[in-house]
Chains A and B, each alone.
Chain A
């Protein structure tokens, strides 16, 4: 059994989202709480910028929940940079407990799973879960310098510059009913530009496990949102889950696919630890509060590679954690 049921139904009582220039002018731009037309956010380095967007999202979500920092028992956060410095250095700004987590781009739902478990068990009262990513800091760590004149292959995705954070606790707001913990699955994809294909098998496995263990089917949910499979990865997920006897083509969407408008030419869409958190904490949270969406699955997907592992010829393991939310 990999599905955790939360009997006490922890609520997502508030969220906050921050987006960079490209994200602000994209499809979900109007739903973002903090928009910036400066991708350095007034900081000297991109790493500092990423830290700033994460602590802004965490701080704003606490304000939006009308809580003080002292009432927050723990911050559970992560990001993509080495030693998750954005999360750790953001936590330095708050006098709350801190748990640093890393599951690449699946960190957001991992954090919510842990936070909801701690609250459901009555151990903690309020927890903030947040993740961030920044295009320029991620490019530098995983790929090439920004000014290098190289081309991106058509299966590539674009790391989202953004952050999202949400406050979990007892109160009003959409409830987290259950979570399905993902398995690390690797089918041998080595193309670092094709993260969607690397993560799709893990996503299909988690989704299938969730349907099986909860006895539900795709029709029971208004929206099934994957994290950052992108356009290609989404198609692969639909194929893989179809082979297992489920049809999600009607209500599936992907946070990475929806974040940019087509004329921004990001090929398969957005990716990054901040992708699913930013999209969920802005667009989906608003729709859940307005009751336009009543039941949804959010499944952040992560590619668990490092630049070293891929240079050493290792394939890319994928993971996906799923949370079931109901308003």
Chain B
């Protein structure tokens, strides 16, 4: 009988690494830069629109812009367009808030076949869950640091 650690065959793994195709990084970076940048420009456009046309400012303005972008991300996911953008743009469409909307809506659509409770509601945060957990946890840590630094100095 073999032991579990006997399985690792370093020679083979190095060989696989040498023959496996590599991701075209310059192409991925350029695509991510332009698509991600475009999404941010659209967001900035919406911000100007609300700022100058509706006279909003501060937190309220930021909330309106986020809400519109989340709606757009969710809507394009529902239409089956966002995954095609993602295929092209990679990180460029995952990182902005529209990508977050996509990560919530796509499992919600997918698991609808298991019903609204065990499917849609239970699986909705399968992908976004870790982002929320670490986002909240990170904000607590930053908050404590901020509080500590202010008290010290």
B22/A236 in contact, CB under 8 A: no
A45/B82 in contact, CB under 8 A: no
In this complex, how many residues of chain B approach chain A with their Cβ under 8 Å: the count is 39
Residue B90 at the chain A interface, CB threshold 8 Å: yes
Expressed in whole angstroms, the minimum distance between the Cβ of B141 and any Cβ of chain A is 26
- Known contacts A140-B110, A187-B13, A315-B7; A149 and B127 CB within 8 A of each other: no
- List B51-75 residues whose CB lies under 8 Å from chain A: none
In this complex, how many residues of chain A approach chain B with their Cβ under 8 Å: the count is 30
Contacts of A189 in B (CB 8 A): 12-13, 16
The docked-state distance in angstroms from the alpha carbon of A245 to that of B110 is: 49
CB nearest to A139 among chain B residues: B110
Residue A186 at the chain B interface, CB threshold 8 Å: yes
- List A4-32 residues whose CB lies under 8 Å from chain B: none
Contacts of B19 in A (CB 8 A): 232, 235-236, 239
Residue B148 at the chain A interface, CB threshold 8 Å: no
- Known contacts A155-B21, A187-B9, A197-B20; A44 and B83 CB within 8 A of each other: no
Expressed in whole angstroms, the minimum distance between the Cβ of A139 and any Cβ of chain B is 9
Contacts of B105 in A (CB 8 A): 147
A153/B110 in contact, CB under 8 A: no
Expressed in whole angstroms, the minimum distance between the Cβ of B76 and any Cβ of chain A is 9
The docked-state distance in angstroms from the alpha carbon of A186 to that of B6 is: 9
The docked-state distance in angstroms from the alpha carbon of A153 to that of B20 is: 10
Q: Which of A44, A149, A197, A239 contacts B113 (CB 8 A)?
A: A44
Residue A148 at the chain B interface, CB threshold 8 Å: yes
Residue A263 at the chain B interface, CB threshold 8 Å: no
B113/A45 in contact, CB under 8 A: yes
A147/B16 in contact, CB under 8 A: no
Residue A151 at the chain B interface, CB threshold 8 Å: yes
The docked-state distance in angstroms from the alpha carbon of A144 to that of B128 is: 12
Contacts of B84 in A (CB 8 A): 149
Residue A146 at the chain B interface, CB threshold 8 Å: yes
The docked-state distance in angstroms from the alpha carbon of A289 to that of B21 is: 38
Residue B140 at the chain A interface, CB threshold 8 Å: no
Contacts of B7 in A (CB 8 A): 186-188, 315
10 tightest A-B contacts by CB? A149-B86, A188-B8, A145-B110, A147-B106, A145-B106, A187-B9, A154-B21, A148-B106, A197-B16, A45-B113
- Which residues of A approach B to under 8 Å, CB–CB? 44-47, 140, 144-155, 186-189, 194, 197, 201, 232, 235-236, 239, 267, 315
- Which residues of B approach A to under 8 Å, CB–CB? 7-10, 12-13, 15-16, 19-24, 28, 77-78, 80, 82-87, 89-90, 93-94, 99, 102-103, 105-107, 109-111, 113, 127
Please name 12 pairs of A and B residues whose Cβ atoms are closer than 8 Å in the assembled complex, sorted by A: A145-B110, A147-B82, A147-B105, A147-B110, A148-B127, A151-B86, A151-B87, A153-B23, A189-B16, A201-B12, A232-B20, A236-B19
